[in-house]
């Protein structure tokens, strides 16, 4: 099959080793960050925060979080171009959604007199909120949509990436507590350009057969 979308998705392979000499340009970073911002989410809740690990001190802090586990991902801290923490708001409130609605009004998407009515969409949050106000399962799912969008965008831009569930969630959330400001990070993303010795770059793409995963009825 030939199609630009399929070409992009076949091109992208999770990087296992980065070329430390190659960094993503500021222009490309700006496009990537805007693509993150444009990610879709349930009721347009946007319950996320993206923390970009870029400076030397931030990398040193991230490096420390690998001291107990997932050392195979540790070299990316200094060799990749950036690592982005994908964080979600585990207690998404009505006030959080008010920011979205007020943005709708500012963007002339809804008139100000419809403000109260717009909160009806919060039903989708309520369906996923327990008695303590926790809705992290729902907000975390939204964050993975942003991750998927990020992977496709980066492939389009021919920038390599490594999704990282192999992080020490406890240490990452402790180390970046201040920046996360109540949000939780369970997954990160390294970006950059793969090294010539990247083992995965040479392997063929492998996926289950279409018949196994897709049912047309």
Ligand X SMILES: Cc1cc2nc3c(=O)[nH]c(=O)nc-3n(C[C@H](O)[C@H](O)[C@H](O)COP(=O)(O)O)c2cc1C
Nearer to ligand X, 101 or 190 (CB): 190
Tokens of 52: 């970009």
Nearer to ligand X, 121 or 200 (CB): 200
Regarding 187 and contact with ligand X (CB under 6 A), the answer is yes
* Distances 138 to 38, 69, 84, 144 between C-alpha atoms, Å: 19, 27, 20, 10
Q: How many residues bind ligand X (CB under 6 A)?
A: 12
User: Which residues, numbered 88-147, are part of the site for ligand X (CB under 6 A)?
Assistant: none
Taking the complex as a whole, the smallest distance from the CB of residue 126 to ligand X amounts, in Å, to 27
Nearer to ligand X, 99 or 205 (CB): 205
Regarding 13 and contact with ligand X (CB under 6 A), the answer is yes
Taking the complex as a whole, the smallest distance from the CB of residue 94 to ligand X amounts, in Å, to 30
Tokens of 116: 């109260």
Query: Segment contacting ligand X (CB under 6 A): 8-16, 22-30, 94-102, 191-199?
Result: 8-16
Regarding 87 and contact with ligand X (CB under 6 A), the answer is no
Distance of CA 63 to the CA centre of its chain: 19
Regarding 190 and contact with ligand X (CB under 6 A), the answer is no
In the chain, count H helices and then E strands. Answer: 11, 4
β-bridge partners, 190: 83, 162
Contact yes or no for 191/161 (Cβ under 8 A): yes
Regarding 49 and contact with ligand X (CB under 6 A), the answer is no
Taking the complex as a whole, the smallest distance from the CB of residue 1 to ligand X amounts, in Å, to 16
- In the bound state, the residue with its beta carbon closest to ligand X is 166
Regarding 73 and contact with ligand X (CB under 6 A), the answer is yes
User: Which residues, numbered 153-172, are part of the site for ligand X (CB under 6 A)?
Assistant: 162-166
Regarding 181 and contact with ligand X (CB under 6 A), the answer is no
Tokens of 125: 């949050």
Tokens of 121: 């969409």
Alpha helices in the chain (DSSP H): 4-11, 26-37, 56-64, 76-79, 94-106, 115-118, 123-126, 136-156, 169-175, 177-180, 210-213
Which parts of this chain interact with ligand X (CB under 6 A)?
13-14, 16, 73, 162-166, 187, 200, 205
């Amino acid at each position: 099959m030939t199609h630009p979308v399929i070409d992009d998705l076949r091109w992208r392979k999770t990087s296992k080793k980065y070329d430390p000499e190659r960094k993503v340009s500021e222009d490309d970073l700006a496009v990537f960050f805007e693509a993150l911002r444009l990610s879709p989410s349930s009721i347009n809740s946007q319950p996320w925060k993206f923390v970009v690990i870029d400076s030397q001190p931030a990398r040193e802090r991230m490096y420390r979080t690998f001291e107990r586990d997932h050392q195979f991902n540790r070299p990316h801290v200094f060799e990749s171009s950036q690592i982005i923490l994908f964080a979600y708001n585990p207690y998404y409130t009505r006030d959080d959604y008010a920011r979205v609605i007020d943005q709708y009004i500012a963007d002339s998407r809804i008139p100000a007199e419809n403000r109260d009515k717009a909160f009806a969409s919060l039903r989708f949050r309520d369906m996923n909120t327990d008695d303590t106000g926790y809705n992290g399962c729902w907000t975390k799912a939204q964050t993975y949509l942003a991750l998927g969008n990020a992977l496709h965008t980066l492939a389009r831009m021919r920038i390599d990436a490594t999704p990282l569930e192999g992080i020490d969630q406890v240490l990452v959330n402790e180390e970046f507590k201040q920046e996360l400001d109540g949000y939780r990070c369970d997954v990160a993303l390294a970006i950059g350009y793969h090294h010539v010795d990247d083992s995965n770059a040479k392997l063929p793409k492998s996926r289950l057969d279409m018949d196994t995963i897709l049912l047309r009825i």
